[in-house]
Copies of this chain bind each other. A is one copy, B any other.
């Protein structure tokens, strides 16, 4: 209608080659006339080989991911870092009940960021590798050749545990994150541990057990204050076998444990010490400042985004190791005199 070839029309919309103002206007007019709203992104992405979309595969369901402040911050920074390269993030649920092909198999994406690592996330990784998509794994077990962003979960957990040990605690309870996609709460048994698939949980647990090998542990269904309350009750309600300190694998769980303790008439840290993990700003903690390790949540996202951008530019991605920083708060203290280990 504008009397030009499709190549010229294409160029008018992409602006990659100069076009005379006259032609340009004719093409635009014709487009308006024909109700043509610019190139079809589907066709463009086929031809270009790029869709401008980066997928984020979350280890758990989206609900829990959204509710977790650590993930929230991470996603935010990830978005920033990918702004140049991607129109937006495609959130994929990594549904463990999924029967057919995981959604990642059919999604037109340029790259993938895998977060956490249930068994299913591993299968998502297979697909990604088969497709030859650039991928970055945040805190998960990647195959060889896949850049990772890792955290010193084990070492950081051990640091907290050592701090509590040094204060004199010999009898502690542990509260862990979910062990796998099923997210069943309850006491951790060796058999249960055998079936666990979530590396973050296992690493943090391993760090804690470096210091307290036989400590009783309870797993929570999610990183939520409410879950922490449940776990706290489970550990603290029986006075006979009540630990003098509780180590939680997230700050939200720790806050829940503190609530449970207060509910039972126990004071923190006088009667029970509680430590967390993450170093997020928790609302509603009252006067307490949680003893915890601060993890660089935003950095995780930013670095993952940077690696993806690099890989899309053809450069190789790099694995980056991040470390946590211990922060002593007011929720840990030496145990009560009668609970102290006998001095030698």
Contacts and interface: CB of A to CB of B under 8 A. Distances in A.
A341 interface: no
A51 B44 CA distance: 13
A131 to B, nearest CB: 5
A14 to B, nearest CB: 10
Interface in A35-71: 35, 37-38, 40-46, 49, 51-53, 55, 62-63, 66-67
Given A76-B66, A88-B90, A42 B46 contact: yes
A285 interface: yes
Interface string A305-342: 00000000000000000000000000000000000000
A177 interface: no
Contacts of A66: 66, 72, 75-76
Contacts of A75: 62, 66
B41 A49 contact: no
A53 B131 contact: no
Considering residues A41, A43, A44, which has the most beta carbons from chain B within 10 angstroms of its beta carbon? A41
A103 interface: yes
Considering residues A87, A130, A283, A284, which has the most beta carbons from chain B within 10 angstroms of its beta carbon? A87
Considering residues A72, A88, A131, which has the most beta carbons from chain B within 10 angstroms of its beta carbon? A88
A213 interface: no
Interface in A67-113: 67, 72, 75-76, 79, 83, 87-93, 103-109
A237 B133 CA distance: 56
Contact of A108 (B51, B106, B284, B285): B51
A76 B89 contact: no
A255 B105 CA distance: 44
Contacts of A255: 283
A225 interface: yes
B88 A225 contact: no
A43 B285 CA distance: 52
Given A41-B108, A62-B76, A66-B75, A92 B103 contact: no
A28 interface: no
Contact of A37 (B67, B127, B284, B286): B127
Given A41-B108, A66-B66, 14 more contacts: A35-B130, A37-B131, A42-B108, A45-B46, A51-B108, A62-B75, A62-B79, A66-B76, A67-B72, A79-B91, A87-B103, A89-B90, A91-B91, A284-B286
A343 interface: no
A132 interface: yes
